[in-house]
């Protein structure tokens, strides 16, 4: 640490994570009739590095689309706050590469705001805090180590004033359509009337373009998916033979769902020592690992309305059909 750099204070709000929760979720998922593993566990250290590789792929258009929107419309986003002081709340901040486009611009315009990155990885928050202390020295950063709703609840109790909440990268697509509605309704309830939500959503388009983003020619997405089994081996004492599994993704253009799976190539048994349990898999049996739902602009409008928001504006990347939609909490 540079001697002049202040120590970053991280707010903790009772995050429930670690091997115990991971083990519980793996046991539940692999014991189900239709086996599944939660996508939230993709992002250990190796998984996070692999996802950074994915975001650099030409086939994975989502990142560059959102980056272009932020560069083009950074002042438009600020104008929506109408000169008021606000908290910029970043759900799942990660390394905040896209968010830093906004942070640098907002600070250059002398906006009255602070930055509240939320993540479940302490190391990421510490690195981000130090980076921002050097890149934007005057920025007040309040990192929160927490799940989304715990963090928003803490902000509501401890920080007065308006919020602009960022939920980027088409993360809403990782929920089923019904699950997205439940999630966003709950989010609306922990926000205040007049708060803004900027939500990144991938739009329905040529199915072939969508599928290439989730099954790239270099196999990075496959390694990212397979790392979930490697993580079970590393952290829970599993004996998955990775070569016995294949990544598979498909896209349904009717309901807009990309689904990712790990497919067993043979009849096999896998023991997970920490669970004291052996699981049997038939040849070509699937473990479901991820959803990524796509929307139309009309579906986004209905989703906002049904969940307690008013859609203010859509900022669309025309080249690849991605939108950052800005909603206001009704009231």
- Look at residue 210 and give its three-state secondary structure: helix
307: Cα within 13 Å, side-chain hemisphere: 27
pTM here?
Answer: 0.88
Report the number of secondary-structure helices (H) and strands (E) in the chain.
10, 13
Largest CA distance in the chain: 62
Burial 224-252 (b: 16+ CB within 10 A, else e): bbbbbbbbbbebbebebeeebbebbbebe
Query: Does residue 16 surpass a pLDDT of 60?
Result: no
Residue 3 clears pLDDT 50, i.e. is over it: no
Q: Where are the domains of the chain?
A: 19-56+207-293, 59-204+295-329
**Cα 168 to Cα 58: distance, rounded to the nearest angstrom:** 19
pLDDT per position as a tens digit, 289-299: 999 999 999 99
- pLDDT for 258 equals 97
The bridge status of strand 322-329 relative to strand 309-317 is: antiparallel
The phi, psi pair for 269, rounded to 5°, reads -120, 140
Q: Is the pLDDT of residue 2 over 70?
A: no
The first and second tokens of residue 112, run together, are 């009255």
From residue 104, give the alpha-carbon distance in Å to each of 107, 148, 295: 5, 24, 31
Residue 1 has pLDDT above 90, yes or no: no
Q: Quick one: 139 exposed, middle or buried, by C-beta within 10 A (0-12, 13-18, 19+)?
A: middle
Q: What is the pLDDT of residues 220-236, one digit of tens each?
A: 999 999 999 999 999 99
Please give the C-alpha separations between residue 319 and each of 68, 108, 203, 297, 330, in angstroms, as whole numbers: 10, 29, 11, 15, 32
Q: Please state the rounded mean pLDDT for residues 9-27.
A: 78
Contact predicate 169/63, CB 8 Å: yes
Question: CA 231, CA 235: separation in Å to the nearest integer?
Answer: 6
Q: Which CATH topology does 59-204+295-329 take?
A: Rossmann fold (3.40.50)
Q: Does pLDDT of 49 surpass 90? A: no
């Amino acid at each position: 640490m540079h001697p002049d750099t202040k120590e970053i204070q991280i707010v903790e709000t009772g995050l429930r994570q670690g091997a115990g929760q991971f083990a519980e979720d793996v046991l539940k998922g692999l014991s189900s009739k239709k086996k599944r593993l939660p996508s939230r566990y993709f992002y250990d250290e190796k998984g996070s590095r692999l996802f950074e590789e994915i975001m650099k792929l030409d086939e994975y258009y989502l990142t560059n689309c959102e980056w272009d929107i932020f560069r083009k419309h950074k002042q438009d986003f600020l104008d929506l706050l109408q000169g008021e002081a606000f908290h910029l709340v970043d759900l799942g901040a990660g390394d905040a590469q896209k968010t830093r486009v906004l942070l640098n611009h907002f600070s250059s315009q002398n906006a009255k705001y602070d930055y509240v990155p939320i993540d479940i990885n302490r190391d990421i928050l510490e690195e981000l805090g130090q980076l921002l202390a050097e890149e934007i020295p005057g920025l007040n950063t309040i990192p929160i180590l927490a799940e989304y709703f715990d963090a928003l609840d803490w902000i509501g109790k401890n920080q007065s004033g308006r919020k602009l909440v960022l939920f980027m990268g088409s993360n809403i697509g990782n929920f089923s359509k019904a699950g997205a509605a439940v999630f966003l309704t709950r989010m609306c309830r922990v926000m205040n009337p007049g708060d803004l939500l900027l939500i990144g959503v991938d739009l329905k388009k040529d199915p072939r373009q969508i599928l290439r983003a989730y099954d790239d020619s270099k196999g990075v997405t496959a390694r990212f998916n397979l790392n979930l089994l490697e993580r079970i081996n590393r952290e829970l004492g599993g004996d998955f033979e990775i070569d016995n599994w294949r990544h598979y993704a498909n896209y349904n253009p009717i309901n807009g769902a990309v689904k990712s799976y790990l497919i067993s190539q043979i009849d096999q048994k896998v023991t997970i020592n920490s669970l004291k349990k052996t699981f049997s898999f038939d040849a070509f049996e699937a473990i479901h690992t991820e959803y990524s739902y796509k929307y139309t602009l009309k579906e986004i409008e209905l989703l906002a309305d049904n969940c307690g928001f008013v859609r203010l504006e859509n900022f669309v990347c025309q080249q690849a059909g991605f939108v950052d939609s800005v909603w206001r909490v009704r009231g």
